[in-house]
Amino acid sequence: MSDEQGRTRGREYSPITRRSLLKGAAVATGALAVGPLLQGCGAAGPTTSSSGPIKIGVLVPLAGVYTGLGEDMIQGLELYLESVNNEIAGRKVELVKEDSEAKPDVALTKARKLIEQDKVDLVTGIVSSAVALGLRDLFDSTKNILVISNAGANAVTRDRKSKYIFRTSFSNWQSCFPLGQWAFDNVGKRAFCSAPDYAAGKEDVEAFKESFVKAGGEIVGELFPPLGNNDYQPFITQMQQGAPDLVFSFYSGSDAVRFVQQYEQFGLKGKIPLVGPGFLTETDVLPQQQAAAEGIRTSLHYSHLLDTPENKKFVEAYQGKYNEVPSVFALQSYDAAQLIDAAIKATEGNTSDKDKLVAAMEATTLTSPRGPFRIDPETHNPIMHVYLREVQKVGDGWGNVVIQDLGEFKDPGA
C-alpha cells in the first residue's frame, strides 16, 4: 500500500530493523554486560559538561511487542534534530540509543549505563508504563533528567512525580477518561473491558470505567490477557458471551494488530462496536489491520489527519524523510526533542546545572503538531486536547479521521 494519507509500509517487528536502528547510535554496547559493575558503583549524580557534544540517551524497545513504537520514537526525534542541523546552542547533538526491550529490569540496567558510563546529558524515550515506574527513583535520586515520550503511568506525574521527570505524551487517565462519557452517550450502556495485564492496561480500564460508570453505564466484564499475546480467541469468546453493547480495549503494537484482526475473524466486528484509546488503530498498526479496523472509534491527542498548518508541515516533513505518515509515538518524540532544544537554548548550552534545565523546561511553550499543548508546571504532564477518531478509508489506505474534539484535558494530578 502506498498513498498520500495512508502509511506506506507496515511494521515487521524484526531484529533486522532493530539492528539497523542501533547502527546509527554513537555508543550502543551490550549494557547487560556492564550491569553488575554499574550496580556496584552506587548512585551517580548528574555527570555532564557544558561544552563538547550534547549527549542524549534514547531508551526505547527495539524488540518485542512494542518494537514499532520504539522505532517511530527514534524517527520523530531524529526528524526534529535534523531540522536544527543536529546542533543545539552551538553544540553538536549525539544520540546514544539503547534497547529497553520494554522490560523494567533491562531498562534499569541500560539507564544506569547511559547515566554512569556514557554520561549522557539527559535521557528520553520509554514506551511502557512498567518501565517508567521502574526508572522513576533512579532519575529522581540522581537528579538526572528524563523526558518520557510515551509511557503513561499515572503515578509518574501524580504521587510519584519528580522534579527531574517530564512527559510529552499523556497520562493513561488522559487517553481513556474522555472516552467513557462519549461512549455512553453515543455507543451503548453496557461495556466489556479488556487490556494487557500490566500497569497501563489496568489504568486505562480504570480511567474508562470512571467516566462510563459515572455517566450511568454498566461494566459487564473485564479481561486482562498477557502482554505480547498471540491468541485472543478465548478472550473474544468470553466477550461475546457477556453480550455487551460495546467492547472497550487498550492494545498497542503487535497486540493491537492481532486483537483487531481476530476481533473480525471471530465475528464480533460489525456486531459489537469496539472503542479504545487511539493506540489500538494508530498508524504504526493500521497498514496491517486494514479493513479489519474500519469503523473502530478511538480517543487520542493526535491524528496524522489533523487539519492544522503545523500538523500538515510535520506530516509532510515526516513523509518526505521516511516515506510513511507519522504515528502519535513519532509526534510525542518530536515534541520531546522540541522541549529539550528549547530548554538547552534557554540555558545557553549549559547542561550541567540540572535545576536550571528543569526551570527552563517548566517555562517552555511549544507549538505542537497535535494542537494546543502546554506542560503543566505542577505535574510535568501535558495539558492538551483529546480527539475522537474513526477509522475510515482515506485515499487507497486507511486513516483515523477526526470526528470530534472532546475538549482540553489536564490530568487531575495527585
Site residues, ligand BEZ (CB under 6 A): 66, 127-129, 150-152, 200, 252, 279
**Beta carbon of residue 399, minimum distance to ligand BEZ (angstroms, whole number):** 19
**Beta carbon of residue 26, minimum distance to ligand BEZ (angstroms, whole number):** 26
**Beta carbon of residue 240, minimum distance to ligand BEZ (angstroms, whole number):** 26
Decide whether 168 or 364 has the Cβ nearer to ligand BEZ. Answer: 168
Cell numbers for 194, please give them.
Answer: 479488556
Question: What's the one-letter identity of residue 53?
Answer: P
Decide whether 129 or 400 has the Cβ nearer to ligand BEZ. Answer: 129
Cell numbers for 179, please give them.
Answer: 472516552
For every residue of 363-414, DSSP letters joined together read H----BTTBSEEE-TTTS-EEEEEEEEEEEEETTEEEEEEEEEEEEEE----
**Beta carbon of residue 186, minimum distance to ligand BEZ (angstroms, whole number):** 23
Q: Which residues of 345-366 are buried (b: 16+ CB within 10 A; e: fewer)?
A: ebbeebbeebeebbbbbeebeb
The upper half-sphere exposure of residue 93, i.e. CA atoms within 13 Å in the direction of its Cβ, equals 26
**Beta carbon of residue 34, minimum distance to ligand BEZ (angstroms, whole number):** 26
Question: What's the one-letter identity of residue 231?
Answer: D
For every residue of 303-338, DSSP letters joined together read -TT--SHHHHHHHHHHHHHHSSPPPHHHHHHHHHHH
In DSSP terms, which residues pair with 146 in a beta bridge?
123, 165
The values of phi and psi at residue 398, to 5°, are: -130, 150
Distance, CA of 22 to chain centre: 20
CA distance 133 to 154: 9
CA distance 37 to 14: 31
Nearest residue (beta carbon) to ligand BEZ: 200
**Beta carbon of residue 251, minimum distance to ligand BEZ (angstroms, whole number):** 9
| Nearest CA-CA partner of 260 in 300, 238, 291 | 291
For helices 199-214 and 172-186, the axis angle rounded to 10 degrees is 40
Decide whether 255 or 324 has the Cβ nearer to ligand BEZ. Answer: 255
Decide whether 69 or 88 has the Cβ nearer to ligand BEZ. Answer: 69
Decide whether 77 or 357 has the Cβ nearer to ligand BEZ. Answer: 77
Pairing of strands 91-99, 87-88: antiparallel
Q: Helix, strand or coil for residue 156?
A: helix
Decide whether 105 or 355 has the Cβ nearer to ligand BEZ. Answer: 105
**Beta carbon of residue 77, minimum distance to ligand BEZ (angstroms, whole number):** 17
Q: Count of residues for the chain?
A: 414
**Beta carbon of residue 94, minimum distance to ligand BEZ (angstroms, whole number):** 27
**Beta carbon of residue 175, minimum distance to ligand BEZ (angstroms, whole number):** 7
Decide whether 175 or 290 has the Cβ nearer to ligand BEZ. Answer: 175
**Beta carbon of residue 280, minimum distance to ligand BEZ (angstroms, whole number):** 9
**Beta carbon of residue 249, minimum distance to ligand BEZ (angstroms, whole number):** 12
CA distance 99 to 22: 8
In DSSP terms, which residues pair with 88 in a beta bridge?
91
Is 116 in contact with 44 (CB distance < 8 Å)?
yes
Decide whether 196 or 217 has the Cβ nearer to ligand BEZ. Answer: 196
Decide whether 48 or 194 has the Cβ nearer to ligand BEZ. Answer: 194
Instruction: DSSP letter for 53, please.
Output: P
Decide whether 223 or 300 has the Cβ nearer to ligand BEZ. Answer: 300
Decide whether 227 or 360 has the Cβ nearer to ligand BEZ. Answer: 227
